[in-house]
Amino acid sequence: MIHPVLLCGGSGTRLWPLSRQSYPKQFARLTGNESLFQGSARRLSGAGFVAPLVVTGDPFRFIVTEQLAQVGMAPQGILIEPEGRNTAPAVLAAALWLARRDAAALMLIAPSDHVIPDDTAFRAAVAAAVPQAEAGDLVTFGIAPTRPEIGYGYLELAAGAQADAASPQPLARFVEKPNAARAEEMLEAGHYLWNAGIFLCTAEAIVAAYKTYAPEMLEAVAASVEDAETDLGFTRLAAEPWARAENTSIDFAIMEKAGNLAVMPYAAGWSDLGGWDAVWLESGPDAAGNVCSEHATAIACEDTLLRSESPDLELVGIGLRDVIAIAMNDAVLVAHKSEAQRVKEAVSALKARGASQAVQLPRDYRPWGWYESLALGARFQVKRIVVNPGASLSLQSHHHRSEHWVVVEGTARVTVDGEVSLLGENQSVYIPLGAVHRMENPGKLPMVLIEVQTGSYLGEDDIIRYEDVYARS
């Protein structure tokens, strides 16, 4: 059986403003009705696969479980990184976790933010690579290039290897992202593949590679796994040894040095959605080359991506060519398609100015649901809060603000200083400053309320938690 290992970290800056540090691109619906993470989990499921092992960060742990539940899946485990340190420590933590149970466990290591349209073809490629991985090799997956792409790393096949083979081939070396001229040369040469960052190997084989090529990292991550703590079904890796692990990718740490490498060619479609130009391409442009979301309109435009991420905001483009325009309630991106890879520069500039839009979505996802700010003043804030069925906010109080709650959909169970009441639609309650209170949704449908805060300080850190079913401090 194959153990999918889904790497689920990252800041998602290249697809800003839809993807942000608080809610990176793997959780967004970019090219269909499911998120990239959900598509990855579903693709690596079914006959021959066990439940996925997910490696992610603390802010995303409940998003992971909720999105898996939405597609009828449950993980075999979720490893929580104390901090993001790139893919090398993450893969090693997963390998050590699996090796404790079965050293010969087959790991299919995959990013959770890629698009692979043909699930059947990809599973067939994985199945073809299994014998080589079971024999102890590290099998990477190489994508048949369709254009001279400068945004991807490449894999150079060894002499005599076939780029269109239906079985793993010998690999000569990894090649860094090229310039445009070199990318053209490699495409014409015919023996280079795109590096997909997907690997198939046994847990013991990859651990042995770390022992040889990254022993210091192995020592640090092994200690972090050994001292990990279980928290509400999550496995929290120990922070102190984890911080000693080098912040680097598995390519640099292991794959570029290992001698037992093979590459499985794959030609049935793949994209890492590394920029809005890739989203345009994967979204299927119309006859004029345009891609428009439901609330976007193109008039006399060519080769343009227009997306409005809000039903209250209509985006219209007139006479545009090779333009990307992404509109959200709090931020708008307009760029020439050829400059799509420079979106990261915009995020860095916003961070330098202290703009919250650089990292934070207007909608803030929490274990119990989500909220968004509707209006904000010097001494007041109005929020829309959505609480999932059966979910509960923490028992808490505030030093600096009082709150009015008005239920607009569903039923709320409200506790204020020990007194419990049920509120239906159009009913309200006042929470005085300092009162110990809690909000719960006892129903089977989402509960929506409007919260009006007033006070001298309205920050999210003005919360004293007394009890919390999600074990937040």
Asked if residues 170 and 260 have their Cβ atoms less than 8 Å apart, the reply is no
What would the pLDDT profile of 65-84 be if each residue is shown by its tens digit?
999 999 999 999 999 999 99
The closest alpha carbon to 261, from 135, 160, 145, belongs to 135
The pLDDT tens digits for 332-381 are 999 999 999 899 999 999 999 999 999 998 888 888 999 999 999 999 99
Q: What is the mean pLDDT of residues 254-279?
A: 93
Question: Would you state the pLDDT for residue 258?
Answer: 93
What's CA 198's distance to the chain center, in Å?
Answer: 16
Judge whether 400 and 458 are in contact, CB under 8 Å. yes
Q: What is the pLDDT of residue 441?
A: 97
pLDDT, tens digit, 9 for 90 and up, residues 126-175: 999 999 999 999 999 999 999 998 888 999 999 989 999 999 999 999 99
Distance from C-alpha of 294 to C-alpha of 307, rounded to nearest angstrom: 8
The residue with greater pLDDT, 59 or 319, is: 319
pLDDT in tens, 19-68: 998 899 999 998 888 999 999 999 999 999 999 999 999 989 999 999 99
Per the DSSP assignment, residues forming a β-bridge with 250 are: none
CATH code, 363-467: 2.60.120.10
Q: Are the C-beta atoms of 2 and 49 separated by less than 8 Å?
A: yes
45 vs 42: CA distance, rounded Å: 5
Q: Report the b/e string of 66-79 with b at 16+ CB within 10 A.
A: ebbeeeeeebebbb
Q: From CA 345, how far away is CA 352, in angstroms rounded?
A: 11
Mean pLDDT value across residues 319-336: 97
Q: How far apart are CA 140 and CA 200, in angstroms?
A: 6
Q: Would you say 401 and 433 are in contact if contact means Cβ atoms under 8 Å apart?
A: yes
For residue 85, pLDDT beyond 90:
yes
Q: What's the mean pLDDT in 414-425?
A: 96
Is residue 64 within 8 A of residue 225, CB to CB? The reply is: no
pLDDT digits over 369-412, tens only? 999 999 999 999 999 999 999 999 999 999 999 999 999 999 99
CA 68 to CA 38: how far, in whole Å? 6
Q: Do domains 2-266 and 363-467 have the same CATH topology?
A: no
Break the chain into its structural domains and give their ranges.
2-266, 276-352, 363-467
In this structure, which topology does domain 2-266 adopt according to CATH? Spore Coat Polysaccharide Biosynthesis Protein SpsA; Chain A (3.90.550)
**What does the block give as tokens for 256?**
């570029």
Assign 242 to helix, strand or coil. Answer: helix
CA 244 and chain centroid, separation: 24
Cα pseudo-dihedral 90, 96, 98, 102, rounded to 10: 160
CA atoms within 13 A on the CB side of 209: 26
User: Of 167, 170, 166, which is closest to residue 156 (Cα–Cα)?
Assistant: 170
- C-beta separation of 99 from 218 below 8 A: no
**For the packed helices 36-43 and 119-134, what is the interaxial angle rounded to 10 degrees?**
60
Give the pLDDT band (50/70/90) at residue 473.
Answer: low
Name every residue whose Cβ is closer than 8 Å to that of residue 181 and which is 6 or more positions away in sequence: none
